[in-house]
């Protein structure tokens, strides 16, 4: 009896595919990630040293994670209210955000005045002008060592500027701009909090890319990378794409749409002598003249649009 060949096992899909924008890649190169993690670990050590010295209580700051996000994703994940401390970065003149729970800063203030770190846990509490002055001075000393921490990446210093308590109102960069978010575990006395430090991604990644030297990979690694690139290119060529050929859009009033009935004529603003738009995912890629191919409608491409994006 001839044995039956085993049937291939199909792996079940456990999640829906997520869209990936190649124009805004949200992944860090391994080499870049290693350099940045070392820098943020130095930031954590220096920050803890400053807190311990100023508050006179044992403080620890531990670097936990680093990732690329859009600014909208970053602010959308923050609680309200929270202390978003705006920092002016030099020499780039961009703005970074040091986000700390308001309750944590009130514990700091209690320690500064010789208290036992009870703080104030009232919901919706914001810092008074006097409290903000004390916190700003403390943070300015704590982030004063950024130049040392990022010495191996790029020249950098920061000045504490202002504080915002509602993430939705703190529009530091465009909503879809890519930002770097470092997450820290903050321990002051018996209290633990999560603290984040957000910087525009081009502030650091641009410096890392410009400092990259020759390709340090082995010939075998480069060959594997070339094969992977070729396979990815072939796979992309087989992805189905929806193409639309459309007239120029026309603007109408809601009453015109509501009152439409069978037989009504809706004038189009598209000149009869002008070619139609060939559109993929909302982007015009070409212009085409309407016609026919046998018994089917068709269009003939007459011009191709240049889209650098």
87-128, pLDDT tens digit by residue? Answer: 998 888 889 999 999 999 999 999 999 888 888 878 888 999
What average pLDDT does the structure give for the chain?
84
pLDDT number for residue 34: 87
pLDDT number for residue 9: 47
> Domain locations in the chain?
30-210, 242-253+268-309
> Using an 8 Å Cβ cutoff, are 137 and 149 in contact?
no
**Rounded percentage of the chain residues whose pLDDT exceeds 70:** 88
**Whole-angstrom Cα distance, residue 139 to residue 199?**
16
Range from 204-208, 211-215, 224-228, 276-280 carrying the lowest mean pLDDT: 211-215
In three-state secondary structure terms, 41 is helix
**Rounded percentage of the chain residues whose pLDDT exceeds 90:** 34
Q: What is the DSSP letter of 17?
A: P
**Whole-angstrom Cα distance, residue 115 to residue 291?**
83
**Whole-angstrom Cα distance, residue 77 to residue 9?**
39
Strands of the chain (E only): list them.
59-70, 83-90, 95-100, 157-164, 178-188, 191-200, 243-246, 276-280, 283-293, 296-304
- Summarised one tens digit per residue, pLDDT across range 158-171 is 999 999 999 988 88
Pairing of strands 178-188, 191-200: antiparallel
**Whole-angstrom Cα distance, residue 303 to residue 286?**
6
Pairing of strands 283-293, 296-304: antiparallel
Which pLDDT band holds residue 52 (cuts at 50, 70, 90)?
very high
Query: What is the pLDDT averaged over residues 159-184?
Result: 91
Of 79, 32, 297, 52, the C-alpha closest to 196 is 79
> Using an 8 Å Cβ cutoff, are 126 and 100 in contact?
no
What superfamily would CATH give domain 30-210? CheC-like (3.40.1550.10)
Report domain 242-253+268-309's class.
mainly beta
**Model confidence at 211: pLDDT above 70:** no
Which pLDDT band holds residue 290 (cuts at 50, 70, 90)?
confident
pLDDT number for residue 1: 52
The two domains 30-210 and 242-253+268-309 share their CATH topology (first three levels equal): no
pLDDT number for residue 309: 47
How many whole angstroms from its chain centre is CA 230? 28
Query: What is the pLDDT averaged over residues 139-145?
Result: 87
Supply φ then ψ for residue 47, to 5 degrees: -60, -45
**Model confidence at 15: pLDDT above 80:** no
Query: What is the pLDDT averaged over residues 238-257?
Result: 86
């Amino acid at each position: 009896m001839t044995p039956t060949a085993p049937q291939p096992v199909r792996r079940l899909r456990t999640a829906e595919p997520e869209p990936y924008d190649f124009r805004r890649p949200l992944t860090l190169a391994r080499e870049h990630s290693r350099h940045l993690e070392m820098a943020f670990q130095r930031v954590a050590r220096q920050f803890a040293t400053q807190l311990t010295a100023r508050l006179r209580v044992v403080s620890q700051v531990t670097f936990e994670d680093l990732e690329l996000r859009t600014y909208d994703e970053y602010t959308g994940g923050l609680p309200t209210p929270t202390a978003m401390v705006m920092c002016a970065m030099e020499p780039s003149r961009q703005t970074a955000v040091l986000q700390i729970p308001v309750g944590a800063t009130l514990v700091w203030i209690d320690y500064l005045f010789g208290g036992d770190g009870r703080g104030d846990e009232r919901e919706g509490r914001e810092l008074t002008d006097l409290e903000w002055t004390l916190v700003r001075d403390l943070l300015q000393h704590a982030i004063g060592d950024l130049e040392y921490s990022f010495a191996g990446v790029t020249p950098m210093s920061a000045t504490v500027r202002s504080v915002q308590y509602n993430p939705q109102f703190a529009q530091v960069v465009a909503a879809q701009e890519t930002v770097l978010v470092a997450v820290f575990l903050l321990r002051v006395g018996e209290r633990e909090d999560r603290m984040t430090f957000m910087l525009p991604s081009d502030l650091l990644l641009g410096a890392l890319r410009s400092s990259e030297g020759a390709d340090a990979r082995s010939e075998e690694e480069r060959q594997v990378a070339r094969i992977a690139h070729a396979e990815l290119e072939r796979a992309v060529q087989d992805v189905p794409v929806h193409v639309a050929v459309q007239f120029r859009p026309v603007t109408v009033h809601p009453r015109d749409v509501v009152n439409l009935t069978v037989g009504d004529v809706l004038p189009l603003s598209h000149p009869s002598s002008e070619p139609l738009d060939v559109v993929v995912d909302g982007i015009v890629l070409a212009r085409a003249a309407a016609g026919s191919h046998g018994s089917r409608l068709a269009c003939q491409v007459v011009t191709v649009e240049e889209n650098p994006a």
